[in-house]
């Protein structure tokens, strides 16, 4: 019995030393480089950009950081906050929104909501995404934030969060002609990417060409037809969205989205001289993008097994890839030559939270690293205390 007790003492001492000395390490994921070409397409519009949405790769740019008035492209940010509120459960699609006198008073493009008129959140999203209704934008902004002013504060906070360094909003619909209400083609692409990648259900609305809603007021019920402002829906078969805008200051703007062969592109046109140019030049950018790109996707569905963990109630930690890896190629590379290597930290020490990075998968082609995908903990592991070690040893040696 003295022999067993001596072994137990030595084992516990070694384990506790490792617990005290060990440290946990994480890795960061690489960001894909830009392959922007500023001469591939000739545009008359003063500012434009083309982005692949899943990777954020810039494929073309022309004065992308020039400060411009956005007009109704502003509503992309409004829609982001609407879908964020839906995601967090603060509002529901079936919620009924009462139109205020202030919302009714909006000029410009509108769906002619009457004061006191009730519409669902779902209908108001259609009014914004399809017909660019300024009144609908203000109505839903007031419903979410209590006032348009507070909603605009939320818009600016979200812009900062997304890294939209050259954007500032004064209203939720884009009516303002004040120079303090501004953005850039790059920032429009950033918020467009956020909307379509995080909330792809927006396509259920932006793909609508025409749809009727019903105005129910004190004067009775009356149908009203929403007509899309996005003419590419009928002109370019790969179109999925997104938002137009025009004022005398902004001229004609457009953030166009399209999907072909699994690739999602965002083409932004700012300050076009007329509406035909904004649509034709957006289409030119999209066609160029689809012609020069191919997307490598590794869904990373395979199980990775487990790795040792020190100082935990469990001795092994199940791990998994953080998500799918995407690489956008414009060189015609042979994807069959892409290689994967798995790298893990030297030591993982409990406690470990689910999602903690414990390594990465490195993707390379002909010796050049394309990017990395983090490997994360698939489950939590609690820190072990003396009684846990004692139980483990008793089970192993005495039972």
The verdict on residue 36 lying in a domain is no
Cα–Cα dist 87/66, whole Å? 33
One domain, residues 150 and 226: yes
Domain boundary among 292, 318, 336: 292
Predicted confidence (pLDDT) per residue in 336-389, tens digit: 999 999 999 999 999 999 999 999 999 999 999 999 999 999 999 999 887 766
Rounded to the nearest angstrom, the gap between the alpha carbon of residue 259 and the centroid of all alpha carbons in its chain is 16
One domain, residues 69 and 88: yes
One domain, residues 288 and 311: no
pTM for this prediction: 0.83
Who's near 376: CB < 8 A, 6+ residues apart?
319, 320, 321, 322, 354, 355, 356, 357, 358
Cα–Cα dist 15/9, whole Å? 10
Report the phi/psi class of residue 220: left, alpha or beta, with left for phi > 0 and alpha for psi in -120 to 50: left
Domain boundary among 260, 292, 324: 292
Concerning whether 72 is annotated as a catalytic residue, the answer is: yes
Output the pLDDT for position 178: 96
The verdict on residue 39 lying in a domain is no
How is residue 321 written in tokens? 């890839």
For residue 21, pLDDT over 70 is answered with no
Who's near 219: CB < 8 A, 6+ residues apart?
none
Query: pLDDT category, 22, cuts 50, 70, 90?
Result: very low
Share of the chain above pLDDT 90, in %: 84
Concerning whether 132 is annotated as a catalytic residue, the answer is: yes
One domain, residues 71 and 218: yes
Enclosing domain of residue 357: 2-30+299-397
Report the phi/psi class of residue 330: left, alpha or beta, with left for phi > 0 and alpha for psi in -120 to 50: alpha
Nearest to 380 by CA among 361, 352, 360: 352
One domain, residues 283 and 385: no
The verdict on residue 245 lying in a domain is yes
The one catalytic residue in 132, 137, 176, 255 is: 132
One domain, residues 7 and 61: no
CB atoms within 10 A of CB 261: 9
Torsion of CA 156, 157, 162, 165, to 10 degrees: 50
CATH number (domain holding residue 87): 3.40.710.10
Output the pLDDT for position 24: 33
One domain, residues 120 and 219: yes
**Count of structural domains within the chain:** 2
One domain, residues 342 and 212: no
DSSP letter for each residue of 305-331 = -EEE-BSBSSSEEEEEESS-EEEEESS
The verdict on residue 37 lying in a domain is no
Who's near 362: CB < 8 A, 6+ residues apart?
340, 341, 342, 343, 369, 372
One domain, residues 175 and 272: yes
Beta carbons of 293 and 336 less than 8 angstroms apart: no
For residue 28, pLDDT over 70 is answered with no
Output the pLDDT for position 1: 33
One domain, residues 180 and 286: yes
One domain, residues 305 and 273: no
Domain boundary among 292, 326, 347: 292
Output the pLDDT for position 3: 34
CATH number (domain holding residue 24): 2.60.410.10
Cα–Cα dist 145/124, whole Å? 15
Predicted confidence (pLDDT) per residue in 104-138, tens digit: 999 999 999 999 999 999 999 999 999 999 999 99
The verdict on residue 347 lying in a domain is yes
For residue 158, pLDDT over 90 is answered with yes
The verdict on residue 12 lying in a domain is yes
The one catalytic residue in 45, 47, 69, 72 is: 72
The one catalytic residue in 47, 54, 62, 75 is: 75
For residue 92, pLDDT over 70 is answered with yes
The verdict on residue 35 lying in a domain is no
Beta carbons of 352 and 317 less than 8 angstroms apart: yes
Query: pLDDT category, 218, cuts 50, 70, 90?
Result: confident
Output the pLDDT for position 390: 72
The verdict on residue 40 lying in a domain is no
One domain, residues 6 and 91: no
Query: pLDDT category, 34, cuts 50, 70, 90?
Result: low
Predicted confidence (pLDDT) per residue in 301-320, tens digit: 988 999 999 999 999 999 99
């Amino acid at each position: 019995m003295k022999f067993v007790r001596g072994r137990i003492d030595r084992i516990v001492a070694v384990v506790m030393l490792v617990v005290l000395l060990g440290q946990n390490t994480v890795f960061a994921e690489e960001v894909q480089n830009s392959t922007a070409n500023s001469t591939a397409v000739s545009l008359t519009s003063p500012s434009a950009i083309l982005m692949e949405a899943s990777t954020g790769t810039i494929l073309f740019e022309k004065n992308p950081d020039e400060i411009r008035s956005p007009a109704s492209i502003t509503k992309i940010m409004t829609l982001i906050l609407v879908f964020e509120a839906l995601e967090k459960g603060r509002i529901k699609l079936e919620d009924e929104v009462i139109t205020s006198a202030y919302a009714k008073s909006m000029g410009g493009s509108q769906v002619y909501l009457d004061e006191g008129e009730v519409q669902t959140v779902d209908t108001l999203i259609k009014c914004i995404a399809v017909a660019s209704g300024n009144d609908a934008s203000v109505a839903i902004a007031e419903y979410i934030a209590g006032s348009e002013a507070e909603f605009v504060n939320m818009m600016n906070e979200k812009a900062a969060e997304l890294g939209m360094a050259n954007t500032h909003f004064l209203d939720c619909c884009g009516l303002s002609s004040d120079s303090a209400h501004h953005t850039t083609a790059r920032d429009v692409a950033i918020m467009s990417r956020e909307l379509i990648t995080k909330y792809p259900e927006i396509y259920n609305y932006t793909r609508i060409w025409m749809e009727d809603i019903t105005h129910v007021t004190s004067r009775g019920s009356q149908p009203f037809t929403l007509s899309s402002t996005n003419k590419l829906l009928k002109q370019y078969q790969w179109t999925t969205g997104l938002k137009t805008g025009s004022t005398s200051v902004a001229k004609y703007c457009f953030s166009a989205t399209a999907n072909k062969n699994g690739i999602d592109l965002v083409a932004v046109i700012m300050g076009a001289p007329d509406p035909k140019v904004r649509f034709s030049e957006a289409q030119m950018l999209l066609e160029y993008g689809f012609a020069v790109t191919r997307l490598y996707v590794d869904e990373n569905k395979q199980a990775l097994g487990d790795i040792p963990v020190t100082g935990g109630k469990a001795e092994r930690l199940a791990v998994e890839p953080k998500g799918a890896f995407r690489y956008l190629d414009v060189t015609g590379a042979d994807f069959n030559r892409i290689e994967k290597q798995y790298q893990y930290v030297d030591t993982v020490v409990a406690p470990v939270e689910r999602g903690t990075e414990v390594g990465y998968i490195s993707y390379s082609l002909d010796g050049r690293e394309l990017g990395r995908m983090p490997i994360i903990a698939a489950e939590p592991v609690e820190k072990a205390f003396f009684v846990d070690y004692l139980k483990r040893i008793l089970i192993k040696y005495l039972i």
